[in-house]
Chains A and B, each alone.
Chain A
Amino acid sequence: MNLELFIWVEAICTLAIFSFLFRENPVYRLFEHIFLGLTIGFVLMKTWLEVLKPKWWDRLIYCIEVGDPHFWIWIIAFILGMMWYFQLSRRWYWISRIAIGISLGVGAGMEFKNQFMLIMPQITASFKPILVRNTQGMLQFSFNNFFMVFTIVAVLSYFFFSFEFKYKGMQLLPRAGRLLLMISFGAFFGNTVMTRFAVFIDRIQFLIQQWLHIGGG
C-alpha cells in the first residue's frame, strides 16, 4: 500500500514538471519550489550526517575525550570552515578570502599533477605514424592516423588568439579546425540526444508500467 502511495506521489511530481511543456503554470511553479526546498534540505542533512559528523565532530569529541593533544587540528579545520561564512559580512569579508585563497592554492597545486597525468599520456598517444606499412588495412590505418594528427593541429590552430592569420592560405588551417569542431559538436549533439531521451524514456517507462500498469515489466 505504502509503495503504491509513493508511486502516485512520484507520478504526480513527474506530471507536474512535465506540465511546463504545455506552458508555465502555477502547478509547475509549486513543484519547482517544493523540489528546491527538498534538495536543499536533503543535501544539508546528508552533509551533516555523512560528512561533518563522522569526519569532523566525532573525531574532535573523541580526541578531547581521550586527551589526544592533536585535537587542535580539528579546531583549526572548524575555524577554516567558518571563515567561508564571513562572505556574508560586508565588514569582515576579507576573512573569507583567506579560506578561498587556501582552497584555490591547494586546488591549483593539485591541478598541476592532475592535468599532466591526464594530458601527457594523451599527447604521447597522439604520436601516430602517418604511414603504416606491412599490416592488413595499412591504407586505412595511415589515413586514420594522418586525419587524427591533422585534426589535432587544425583545432589547436583555431584557438590561437595572440596573432592573426593574415594570409588567405594560412587561414585554411583554422577554418578546417572550425569545420572539424562543428563535426565533433554534431557527434556531441547526437550523444546528448541519446542522454536526454534516455532520461525521458525512463520517466515514461515509470508512468506507463509502474503507475498505469500498462504492458509487461
Chain B
Amino acid sequence: MVLKALDIYKLLPKKNCKECGDPTCLTFAMKLASGKGDIDKCPYLDLNAKNILGASTRPPIQLVKIGVGERRFAVGEEFVVFRHEKTFYHPPGIMFQVSDIWPAEKIESVTRRVGSEHFVRVGTDLTFSGVAITNESGDPDVFSKAVGVVEATGTHIPEVLMAADPVVQEEGLKKCGNFRPLIYSATKDTYKPMCALAKKFGSPLVVSAKDLESLGEMTKLCNAEGITDLLLDLSFPSLRDYVPAATEIRQKSISRSAPELGYPIFLDTTRYEMQDTALVLGIDKYAGVIVTPALGPASSVATLTLRQNIYTDPQKPIQMNPGIYPVGNPGKESPVLLTVNFSLTYFTVQGYLESSRVPCYMFIVDTEGLSVLTAVAAGKLNETLVRDSIKKFDLENLVSHRRLIIPGYASPLSGKIEEETGWKVLVGPRDAAEIGDYLQKEWKI
C-alpha cells in the first residue's frame, strides 16, 4: 500500500517542531511520501504510527552501498517499474571479472584498466565500476593473494569477492574488508557464516537460491542475522529466466506485496555464452550489480552508453554546456547557428551540420535542457538570453559578420532578437534534416 502525503500527515504529530530538519510536518510528510524521508527523524511518533509508516515509507528497494571513496556506488532505492513513470536512479555497477588463477599481471592490468579507463559522452564521465575476483583455485591463500594484487594497484575501485566457501571468503575480506566489498554469496547452507562475515566487515551480501521464493526466504533468514544490505542473485542456469524474474521482483517490491524481495539484483553474465545479450538484459531490466568478463572496445562503449541512456531522467533531459562549438574549420565569415542546450537537439543538429560540409559555429544557449519548441513556449529562449550569450561567449570577436541563424520554431523571436542584439536574424528550417540544404541555398556572405 502506497501512502499519499496527506495520509502520512494525518499520522504525524503535527507539532511543526522542526526537529526532523523540515520546516513543517507537511513538508516532512511530502518527503516520506516520495520515499526520500527517514521516518526515524521524527522524535514524537507513536509506535502505532511508526509501524504503519515504517512499512510504507521506507524505499521499496533497499539502498545498498558498495565500495568506499571516490569510486563507491550505490544501487537499489528505485521507485518505479518503468523509467517513464519517473526515472531510474541508480545505474548498475558493471564489474570486470578477474580470476585468482590468473597471473598477477593479468589481474593487475584489468584492475588498472577499470581504474583509469573512462569515456566522455554528453559531458559525463563514463566508467566501469569495479572488479569481481573469482575464487577458481579453491585455495584461500591463492584467493587472498589475488585480492592483494587488486588492492596493491591502489586504484581503490569497488570489488566483489566471489568465493562460495566462507573460509576462503574470509581470507579475501581480510585483505579488503574495510572497503565495503560485495560478498558473493550466501546460500541456504552458508548464510550463517556469511552473515557473520558481512557483519564483521560491514559488507553487503549477495544471496543465492534456486528461485524467487527461496530467495525471499533467504533474505528473511539474513535479516534475522541482522543483515539488511542484501542483493538477490538472479544468475539462474538459463538466461531466459532472467527478465521474468527481475520483472517480478521489481513489480512485487514496488507494490510492497513482497517486502522480502525488496533488494537490488545481482547478475553474473560470465555464466552464459551470450554475454552481450546478458549485459543488455541486465542493464535494461533492473540489475544492480553485473559481473562481466573484461569487455572489448566495441562492447565497452555500447554498454556504457546503453546504461547512460536507460538511467537518464526522462523528465530532466541531458544538457549540453552552453557555448560555441565549431563544426569543421569555421572562419570569421562562417555562419553561426543558434540552438538550445538539449543534448538530443544538439547532437541531431550537429550530425546534419557535419554532413552538410559547411564549416560553421553552433551557438548553444542555456534553455535548461528544453527543446526549441518548449523553450520558446516557456519563454526560456528569449531575446535577452541571446543577447547575454552573445556577450558571454564573445561571439562578436569570433566572426566578422553580424548574422545569426535561428531554428525555424523560434521564428516568433526573430524581430525581438534583432532589436535586442542588433544582429540580423535569419530563420532556419524547422526540421534539422533540412539544415544542409538551407545553408547551401541561403548562406551568402
A and B bound?
no
Spell out A's residues near B (CB within 8 Å): none
Spell out B's residues near A (CB within 8 Å): none
